Chain A
Amino acid sequence: MADGQGREVYLDYAATTPVDQRVVEAMLPFFTERFGNPNSLYGLGRDGYRAMEDAREQFAAAIGASTPAEVVFTGCGTEADNAAVLGIAEVGKARGKGSHIVVSAFEHHAVLEPVKRLGKQGFDVTVLDPREDGIVYAEDLAGVVRDDTVLVTVMHGNNEIGTVQPLKELAEVAHGVGAYMHTDAIQTLGKIEWDAAELGVDAASFSAHKIYGPKGVGALYLKRATPFEPLLIGGGQESKKRSGTQNVAGIVGFTKALELMIAERPTEAPRLAALRDRVIDGVLAMPNSLLNGGRDVARLPHIANLVLKGVEGESMLLQLDNKGISVSTGSACSSGSLEPSHVLLSIGCPPEIAHGSLRVTVGRFTTAEDVEYFLDTLPGIVERLRAMSPVYAKMFGSGA
């Protein structure tokens, strides 16, 4: 809520994005006139089916799948992550691949929780830490995979700090021991080049609402012959990999959104990277601040995660909200737990530092003026909160 000045600056595009008007227009007919169940045999059903399969074909080509059948549409990104982890590990194990799983420490909970469940069911889980620069290195993975490793799952672009993992090398290590490679690519799809064949992964999860598509639709890339057991069973839709009547409007919208991302990327990615760099430089010019993750490593163009030492993140977030600015934080207090972000802890950020983190993510409708407004607004908030702290001067010196 703004304080009356009316300025609204949304800087949380990694959380979700508005649906692009062009996506809305592509979807609209499928809510009303073209509402048929794509599994029905008559004309209205066939129309929906054709729209859905055209979308699948286009989507598959856009992500470098070898056939459209390798794309399974789901109800969200979390479902795609859950389905991949549970489905591949269980069937892989049943086929004699062993029961060892390697998961990176900074996965989204949509991956960590199903892995944790498998651990309780007897799988042996190794949690692999990224290094301080925010990268999971292939040589580190090589040190923990085993002959009985069935699944390796490492997020492609990290949703909190924006670092991009060397997926191709990681997949080679996984395949070297006969394990399957899954990646949560929800933040990377459309933002940077994504080619399944080139990257060599066996499974990847995607979500529409991170790329100006609608909420409630995701996708799972599942390479042919990858062992898999569906999460949802019933009518056998999606080649029996995901039962449930398909969200035709959502699938059409997701595909349109991806098409726009790719078409506009040559100019949009550098524009966003410049805005992101301005955010980083502007915040780092403030006293006692730092950037999470290495500056020079591979990065998504839209995510910057910064720390204002000696300030608690939720307080900063609420004060920025008072000025109409939306961002997120990795502080414990924002999550309802007592620990700060597991992502920040995994890269060696101490809790007392992680509590002061601020994630700023830019997107299609972010302007240079928006970023300057944020950078003009933040210092006063930080100074006020530091002045109110009983320990700031003691811990971090007098710089306000």
Chain B
Amino acid sequence: MLYSDKVMDHFNNPRNVGVIEDADGVGEVGNPVCGDVMKITIKLDDAERIGDIKFQTLGCGAAIATSSIVTEMAKGMTLEEAVAISKQQVADELGGLPPAKMHCSVLATDGLKVAVDDYLVKQGRDPIAGPIKSEDPNFDPHADEDAPHDAAEACDL
């Protein structure tokens, strides 16, 4: 398994690390049992675009790199544009991800979606991203069907 140069760049020099203390929206996804947890905080500008965005991530190289790149991609976007970022776009932006690491880009896009919905709900408005961890028929993290599941079931994004 090899990471692209861009994944390694974002892993070694992650952008937008931290927490916005007076954030408008907060999204925390993942689970320490699965080995990855991501928290995204967003601050909106007057045009309700993402003016500032920061992340904290516990996870592997891909989890950190996908978190970092998604914050770069989302900056300046409208809420609708931000929730529309797909895991494939994240992976493509990084120059590809190993198949076993695709779930990391789901984590990153989910974190952003939760943060956006958190803002909207706090405003008394309807969420636009809806429930996360939607099933993707094309993604099977259990490539080896004999692999022991149990804890992994809960980690299946």
Contacts and interface: CB of A to CB of B under 8 A. Distances in A.
Interface of A: 116, 310-315, 318, 322, 331-334, 336-340, 342, 345, 350-352, 355, 385, 388-392, 395
Contacts of A392: 58
| Residue among B17, B58, B61 with max Cβ neighbours from chain A (10 Å) | B58
Given A315-B64, A333-B62, A338-B155, 20 more contacts: A116-B146, A310-B58, A312-B59, A312-B60, A315-B61, A318-B11, A322-B12, A338-B141, A338-B156, A339-B148, A350-B33, A351-B34, A388-B56, A388-B64, A390-B28, A390-B37, A390-B39, A390-B58, A391-B58, A392-B58
Given A312-B58, A352-B32, A339 B151 contact: yes
A333 B32 CA distance: 13
| Residue among A390, A392, A395 with max Cβ neighbours from chain B (10 Å) | A390
Interface of B: 1, 8, 11-12, 14, 17, 19, 28, 32-39, 56-64, 98, 100-101, 103, 141-142, 144, 146-148, 150-152, 155-156
Contact of B32 (A314, A322, A391): A391
B28 A351 contact: no
B147 A390 contact: no
Contacts of B63: 312, 333
Nearest to A353: B32
30 contacts: A116-B146, A312-B35, A312-B36, A315-B11, A315-B61, A318-B8, A332-B34, A332-B152, A333-B60, A333-B61, A333-B62, A336-B1, A336-B98, A337-B100, A337-B144, A337-B147, A338-B141, A351-B33, A351-B35, A351-B151, A352-B32, A385-B58, A388-B56, A388-B58, A388-B64, A389-B57, A389-B58, A390-B56, A390-B57, A391-B32
Contacts of A310: 58
Contact of A388 (B14, B33, B36): B14
Nearest to A345: B151
A332 B103 CA distance: 12
Nearest 5 A/B pairs, CB to CB = A333-B60, A390-B39, A336-B100, A355-B35, A390-B56
B interface: dominant SS: mixed
A334 B156 contact: no
B59 A315 contact: yes
A313 B35 CA distance: 9
Nearest to A334: B60
Contacts of B101: 333
A389 B36 contact: no
B151 A389 contact: no
Given A336-B1, A338-B155, A352 B59 contact: no
| Residue among A331, A334, A388 with max Cβ neighbours from chain B (10 Å) | A388
